[in-house]
Amino acid sequence: MNKKTARVGELGVKIAQMKVDLDDTKEDLGETTLFLKDLEGNCKKKKEEWALYKQMQGEEMLALADTIKVLNDDDALELFKKTLPSSSAAMLQVGSSHEKNVRLKALGVLKARGSTDPRVDLLSIALHGGKVGFEKIIKMIDALVVQLKNEQTEDDQKKGYCTQKMDEAEDKKKGLMQVESDTETAIEDAKESVSTLKSDIEALDDGIKALDKEVEEVTVQRKKEHDDFSETYAANAAAVELLNFAKNRLNKFYNPTQYQPPAKKEEGGASFVQLHQHSDGAGDEKPPPAPEADLGYKVKTEESSGVINLINNIIKDVEKESLEAELEEKDSQKQYERTMDLSSKKRMEDSKSLTDKTGALAETEEALVTSNQDLKNTRIELMNIHKVIGELHGDCDFLLKYYEMRQEARTGEIEAMGKAKDVLNGADYSL
């Protein structure tokens, strides 16, 4: 009874905990749903912004390329020479043959790099046109170098960010996938355990019922055997008593020395054998005189001994049968008691096992519910991390794919502009 009460208490605590877990799960589900909704909205907005950014960048690059192409045309340069004021400092610089050579050398340095950056092409136009002074071109070079270095720094930072975040996301994904696999394995094991426990519980319950039925049948059979024994034993005792009475009566006549007078009975008591010699309707009339007879009676000793021996043999057989029946009864009773003892122990063991397995089944089913909820939560996390990874790929793949190429291009452009600046400052590079 105490165990059942304790079990009821434990189940009550577990139910309360499960209700709390259910409330927490509902709250987490609500927060996760809101987060997912916000994430989808933010992702959609970021994709639209990125698409717009790429579109604007493409349009800007196209506009710059078209502008450079137009401004870099020889006819356009000749037109600029004719239309720009001849009194400007730029025109004075163009008139200088030395300056022209310097411009051409600087221009050659820039073109030798084969830059694809429109901003570098604008510098080339400025040098080729001869309308912009060295000082201004040098400032343009310095500003562009700073800009390129800043862009490279941004690429470096973004590359580090992308690499770190993608590694973290992939590690988390692998961890979640492992958790998912482990949880699925745990669920399958729990399902198998539940099935096995249910089969064991059913088998134990059937076994206990069969054992109870068998005990009932054995008890009924034992009672019947005992009743049969009691009846037989009583009948044999009565037969022996009757045979001894008959033998004693014969001894009274044939063997007076062996005769045993019956015990005195209380008045009114009935003797074992009553001999009535009353004749019906005889009254008090005197009998007629007896006829003459030979009163020399001869006792048949041999015949009487044979009868007495026969009675003795019958008594021995009956007593032997009673003794055998008594021994058999004792053996049957001992076997019955042993069977009852073994059955009682077996029932106690099976009942305990049934209780233990029922408790294990409840715990396993509870663990199965928890594992299913954990699996659901893990798959939600996996779905979210897949979205994060997708967003990172969308934002980082282009940079990571062309990072080295962009870095190399910027480095080359910075070196070329550095050499062009040196040429404009008077350095001599043999081309």
pLDDT of 215? 95
Kind and range of the H or E run holding 67 = helix 2-71
pLDDT digits (tens, 9 = 90+) for 68-85: 555 555 555 555 455 544
Q: Taking Cα atoms as reference points, which of 383, 422, 411, 356 lies closest to residue 153? A: 411
pLDDT of 88? 38
pLDDT of 279? 38
Q: Position 416: which residue type?
A: A
pLDDT of 19? 76
Q: Which two tokens stand for residue 174?
A: 């692998």
pLDDT of 273? 40
pLDDT digits (tens, 9 = 90+) for 220-266: 999 999 999 999 999 999 999 999 898 888 888 788 888 888 776 55
| End-to-end Cα separation, the chain, in angstroms | 105
Rounded distance, CA 337 to CA 229, Å?
A: 17
Residue pair 385/173 in contact by the 8 Å Cβ criterion? yes
pLDDT of 181? 94
pLDDT of 15? 84
Q: Which two tokens stand for residue 216?
A: 């009932």
Counting as low any pLDDT under 50, the low residues of the chain are 80, 84-96, 98, 128-132, 267-285, 290, 293-299, 431
Rounded distance, CA 119 to CA 58, Å?
A: 14
pLDDT of 280? 42
Angle between helices 118-129 and 74-83 (to 10 degrees): 50
pLDDT of 33? 77
Q: Which residue in the block uniquely carries the two structure tokens 């209380």?
A: 266
pLDDT of 250? 85
Taking the alpha carbons of 380, 384, 389, 390 in that order, is the dihedral positive or negative?
positive
Neighbours of 383 (CB within 10 A): 13
pLDDT of 55? 73
Rounded distance, CA 63 to CA 55, Å?
A: 12
